[in-house]
């Protein structure tokens, strides 16, 4: 594959993103769904690729014409196929870069209820996913037992985690798991926005919200995703002079250092495993865990180092978020564009069962657990966890903004702090990344018991410590 073809694949991907944005701007129906342009562009690329257009051409009997693989060269699709596994490392390395790491007691006081509720949702996704796989999907449909982790990987982890786990699925002999996870993540994202808005309207009508008491009107520009000219903010701050180094280049270098630290940590742990408990137990787990959760740990370590030694404060959170946002857009477009619809079609009924179980559980956890686990503002705070549990942190933030537009409740602040206790473990953290390998090594029943214990523990903490008695 030539370097020019690799460069061309990125140019084509950028064009698809641009077309996806303008389709959203021109389509009121898509605007009302609040679908990101990357999702729209990804589906456009999927339709124009071999899975849809290519199969239509073959079905019409045109054989091996130039459109039998869609409009994209196979080399471009090959490049896109490896992008998600690379860019997920950038996303997770950036999670805590530029963030001030506050006192743990303060985090627990403000975000404790959201931490407990979010953890309960995540572990519940594992419990139900593994249980439904043991009872139905494996014995009836012959689906791999590792499918029990798909609900949490796809719904709580989202497209990034689902795409980043592709290598792990491949190494463990469950290659179809990556496509099923990406399909579930897409279902979760779309249904999360639709159901979130419907539930908000229902809550307003029934008087269950504390901030807004009537349906909020959303401007046309807000729906289209355009920021009004007078309300536009800076994308970031210049922390260095451009004649010395471009600030964006410096921040990209910081992300690279974080990923490098994560790589060193992972390799060191693999080495320790190979000379300690690995030979004794015959269990080797760390080699199957992808790099991205270690990249997140590398980012935390780098932030601690910079907080202590960077007297010039050269790291700006705004620029880091732009790098993170670009990486997420690239990841989503490339992941959906290379999605295998044939694999989902071959496992359609198990796929639909997993999707339905995940959606029902997330709604139940939001509407029935949130009122008894949050001491106040249960809908405003619970909507953030619901949105994130359906596949995307941005969905959670959107729902919180709709239910609390002026940040009068502690929902948004608590949601931000919650990630420090949440994402290192589940929702794309260490356990999420290790869950498939744990099922492979120890079996579904052992992992189910562990997840059930964690689910009950966080449920008890949420109800009896952070519930209404805590408020009193």
Nearest to 53 by CA among 32, 37, 77: 77
Is 303 a member of any domain? yes
Is 404 a member of any domain? no
Residue 5 has a pLDDT of 85
Tokens read off for 14: 């950028």
Q: What is the pTM of this model?
A: 0.84
Is 291 a member of any domain? yes
Residue 279 has a pLDDT of 82
Beta bridge partners of 68: 70
Residue 472 has a pLDDT of 46
Is 313 a member of any domain? yes
Is 162 a member of any domain? no
Is 217 a member of any domain? no
DSSP string covering 32-94: HTT--HHHHHHHHHHHHSIIIIIHHHHHTT--S-TTBTBSS-HHHHHHHHHHHHHHHHHHHHT
How far is Cα 92 from Cα 428, in angstroms, rounded to an integer? 9
Query: Can you give the residue range of the structural domain that contains 315?
Result: 247-319
Is 442 a member of any domain? no
Walk along the chain (472 residues) and give the pLDDT tens digit of each residue.
Answer: 678 888 999 999 999 999 999 998 888 888 877 778 888 999 999 999 998 888 888 877 766 666 777 899 889 999 998 898 889 899 889 988 998 777 788 788 888 999 999 999 999 999 999 999 999 999 999 999 999 999 999 999 888 888 889 889 999 999 999 999 999 998 988 888 889 888 988 888 888 888 776 655 666 666 667 777 777 888 899 999 999 999 999 999 999 999 999 999 999 999 998 888 778 767 777 888 889 889 989 999 999 999 999 999 999 999 999 999 899 899 889 988 988 888 888 899 999 999 999 999 999 999 999 999 998 889 999 999 998 999 777 778 778 877 887 778 888 888 878 887 888 889 888 899 999 999 999 999 999 999 999 999 999 999 998 886 554 4
How far is Cα 23 from Cα 333, in angstroms, rounded to an integer? 14
User: How many domains does the chain fold into?
Assistant: 1
How far is Cα 353 from Cα 309, in angstroms, rounded to an integer? 51
Is 85 a member of any domain? no
């Amino acid at each position: 594959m030539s370097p020019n073809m690799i460069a061309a694949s990125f140019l084509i991907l950028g064009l698809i993103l641009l077309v996806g944005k303008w389709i959203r701007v021109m389509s009121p129906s898509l605007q009302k769904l609040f679908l990101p342009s990357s999702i729209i562009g990804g589906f456009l690329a999927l339709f124009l690729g071999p899975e849809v257009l290519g199969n239509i051409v073959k079905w019409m009997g045109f054989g091996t014409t130039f459109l039998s693989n869609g409009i994209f060269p196979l080399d471009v699709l090959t490049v896109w196929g490896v992008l998600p596994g690379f860019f997920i490392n950038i996303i997770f390395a950036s999670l805590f870069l530029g963030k001030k790491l506050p006192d743990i007691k303060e985090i627990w006081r403000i975000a404790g209820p959201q931490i407990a509720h979010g953890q309960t949702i995540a572990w519940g996704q594992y419990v139900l996913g593994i249980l439904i796989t043991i009872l139905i999907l494996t014995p009836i449909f012959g689906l791999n037992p590792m499918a029990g982790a798909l609900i949490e990987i796809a719904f709580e982890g989202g497209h990034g985690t689902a795409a980043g786990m592709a290598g792990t699925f491949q190494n463990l002999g469950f290659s179809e798991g990556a496509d099923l996870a990406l399909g579930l993540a897409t279902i979760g994202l779309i249904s999360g926005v639709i159901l979130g808005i419907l539930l908000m309207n229902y809550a307003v009508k029934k008087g269950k919200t504390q901030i807004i008491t009537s349906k909020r009107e959303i401007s046309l520009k807000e729906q289209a995703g355009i920021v009004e000219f007078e309300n536009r903010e800076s994308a970031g701050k210049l922390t260095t002079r451009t004649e010395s180094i471009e600030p964006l280049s410096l921040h990209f270098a910081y992300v690279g250092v974080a990923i490098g630290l994560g790589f060193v940590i992972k390799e060191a742990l693999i080495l320790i495993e190979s000379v300690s408990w690995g030979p004794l137990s015959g269990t080797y787990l760390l080699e199957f865990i992808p790099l991205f959760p270690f990249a997140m740990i590398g980012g935390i370590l780098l932030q601690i180092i910079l907080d202590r030694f960077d007297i010039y404060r050269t790291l700006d959170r705004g620029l880091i978020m732009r790098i993170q946002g670009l990486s997420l857009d690239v990841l989503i477009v490339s992941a959906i564009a290379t999605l295998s619809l044939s694999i989902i079609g071959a496992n359609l009924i198990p796929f639909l069962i997993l999707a339905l179980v995940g959606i029902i559980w997330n709604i139940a956890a939001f509407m029935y657990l949130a009122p008894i686990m949050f001491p106040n503002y249960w809908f405003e705070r619970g909507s953030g966890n619901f949105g994130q549990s359906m596949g995307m942190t941005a969905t959670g933030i959107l729902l919180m903004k709709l239910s609390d537009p002026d940040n009068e409740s502690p929902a948004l602040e608590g949601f931000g702090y919650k990630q420090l206790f949440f994402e290192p473990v589940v929702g794309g953290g260490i356990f999420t990344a290790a869950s498939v390998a744990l099922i492979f090594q120890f079996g579904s029943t052992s992992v189910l018991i562990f997840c059930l214990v964690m689910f009950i523990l966080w449920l008890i903490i949420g109800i009896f410590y952070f519930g209404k008695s805590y408020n009193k």
